[in-house]
Each structure stands twice: as structure tokens, then as C-alpha cells.
Homo-oligomer: A and B are copies of this chain.
């Protein structure tokens, strides 16, 4: 805006960015609101429960869980403490290596997830999948992978051709 003319956005890029950035703000807010109202969980808490339910023994190390839920270890620690308070999760030190902590989904936590999942999936479907053509859904996957790849080259396999 002042220095030697930085590469600005073209008009069409700007249009795309306006729509995209608004969506980037509003879609997570809408998904969070649905989960909060219907299940009393936020997106991150839901992801934690979902990741645990898919894991063998419904158990994962905190550090693995943090990666799967796309959050920091610190955030996870606070959240697991909360979820433990609700009886959805238990923590126990790993017997093999005392540095690790295993988080495991309780039966109550599993039921909570099973109750919340259909509504959440339905909401994802109605906000994202239903309005898009099948090719757009696939494009969205490729676009997301490319953007992820730039931020974290190791994470996203370069399946995005």
C-alpha cells in the first residue's frame, strides 16, 4: 500500500478472496454453533471424542490425539481435563513409558459421541456437500490439499497432482 508496489491481488483474485475469507469465518462458526446447541460440545471436543472412538482400544496418546484433532498439546490437555470432568474420557499414564499419557474414551463418552454424530454429519452434509456438485467436492479436496501442503509440506501427501 506504500512500499515499492507489492504484488497486489487482481480483481478476480480479490473476488475469490472475499468470498473465501467470509466462508472461512462463517462456516466454522456455524458448525460450532450446531454442535454447541445440540451436543454442548465444540468442534475440538467433538474431534477429540471422534478420534478416540476410531482408535484401537478407543485409546490414544495425548500427543497423537493432539495431531489428529489439529490442536496444540496444551489445548488438548485443558480440553481433556474438561472432558474428564464430564466423564467422557479417562487419562492414565502409559505403563511402558511414564512420560506418555493415554487418553481413553469411556462408555459414556462413546454414547455422547454416538448421540452427537448424526446431527453433526447431517449439518456438514447440508452446509458443504449438498450445495456442491460432485466435481466441486473433489476440487475442494484438491484445493485444500494444496493449501495444506504449502503450510505444512510433510503433512499433505502431494496427491494434489
Which residues of chain A have a CB within 8 Å of any CB of chain B? 1-3, 6-9, 12-13, 15-17, 19-20, 22-28, 30, 70, 113-115, 117-118, 121-122, 124-132, 136-152, 156
B2–A121 contact, CB under 8 A?
A: no
Contacts of A128 in B (CB 8 A): 17, 20, 147
A148–B15 contact, CB under 8 A?
A: no
Contacts of A122 in B (CB 8 A): 6-7
A16-B137, A27-B24, A114-B2 known; A127 and B144 CB under 8 Å?
no
Inter-chain CA distance A92–B61, complex, in Å, is 53
State the oligomeric state as a number of copies. 2
Q: Smallest CB–CB gap between A44 and chain B, Å?
A: 9
A26-B70, A114-B2, A139-B139 known; A20 and B121 CB under 8 Å?
no
A2-B115, A125-B7, A137-B16 known; A24 and B26 CB under 8 Å?
no
A-side interface mostly: helix
Give the nearest-CB partner of A27 in chain B.
B147
Inter-chain CA distance A22–B144, complex, in Å, is 8
A24–B20 contact, CB under 8 A?
A: no
Contacts of A30 in B (CB 8 A): 151
A24-B27, A26-B70 known; A19 and B148 CB under 8 Å?
yes
Give the nearest-CB partner of A131 in chain B.
B146
A151–B27 contact, CB under 8 A?
A: yes
Kindly list the 10 A-B residue pairs having the minimum CB-CB distance in the complex, ordered from nearest.
A6-B118, A16-B141, A19-B144, A23-B144, A1-B114, A131-B146, A1-B117, A20-B144, A25-B70, A2-B114
